[in-house]
Structure 1
């Protein structure tokens, strides 16, 4: 019988990073995505059509962004869309989005809120 390699379970940080990636990639139907008005105003003329197109460009850039070493949970990133600097921040809430989550590594009890903003909105 061949030796089976047993991998250690993922660390809490790795688990949170994986869950954050799922939310960022649109695979977590419980996650909320929030765009600040200041960011949308920088990328759209305010018409409904152009607001939607701006949101689509932001979402594509967010899904393709890379993370620095100081964001091991992949919960904060900076990138550009049409020359506008964008900041992404993921926060963790309870299932009702009322209080902070006690265990962001537990997908059953944690909801993610992804805020997309200009750095000065933070």
Structure 2
């Protein structure tokens, strides 16, 4: 994936923009993970309702806001169907084996978005 961000952007701004791309579904290399505890709280366990619950969470995540203590926009809390949801983005190497050495570099970083209930953290 070519790095098309402005060269003057700080590392924090670059990471925030890359995190936004992943959160909005624009990063094909990012992975989204739902904890079972979260899905169990939002669905009756049927495949159809699990998919619908995931869609509701994804919609809420894509429009969530961030507090000042998350300048990289890598952690947020929001509600879905009255359930508090936590979103956390972690940074990995291209094989998802080790942590990324440079989260501001899209060519060598893969993002994992975990969606969970706060107690799952």
TM > 0.5 between the two?
yes
Compare CA radii of gyration and give the structure with the larger one.
Answer: 1
Distance of 1:102 and 1:13 partners within structure 2 = 14
Q: 1:47 to 1:8 in 2, by over 3 A?
A: closer
| Structure 1 segment 28-47 matched on structure 2, within 5 A | 28-47=27-46
Q: Which runs of 5+ in 1 are unaligned?
A: 1-6
> For the aligned residues, what is the CA RMSD?
1.0
Distance of 1:16 and 1:104 partners within structure 2 = 6
| Structure 1 segment 85-100 matched on structure 2, within 5 A | 85-100=84-99
Deviating beyond 2 angstroms after TM superposition, the runs of 4 or more aligned structure 1 residues are: none
Match of 1:81 in 2: 80
Distance of 2:105 and 2:63 partners within structure 1 = 25
Are 2:110 and 1:103 equivalent residues in the alignment?
A: no
TM-score where L is the length of structure 1: 0.94
TM-score where L is the length of structure 2: 0.94
Distance of 1:121 and 1:115 partners within structure 2 = 10
Task: Please report how far the alpha carbon of residue 8 of structure 1 lies from its aligned counterpart in structure 2 after TM superposition.
Answer: 7.2
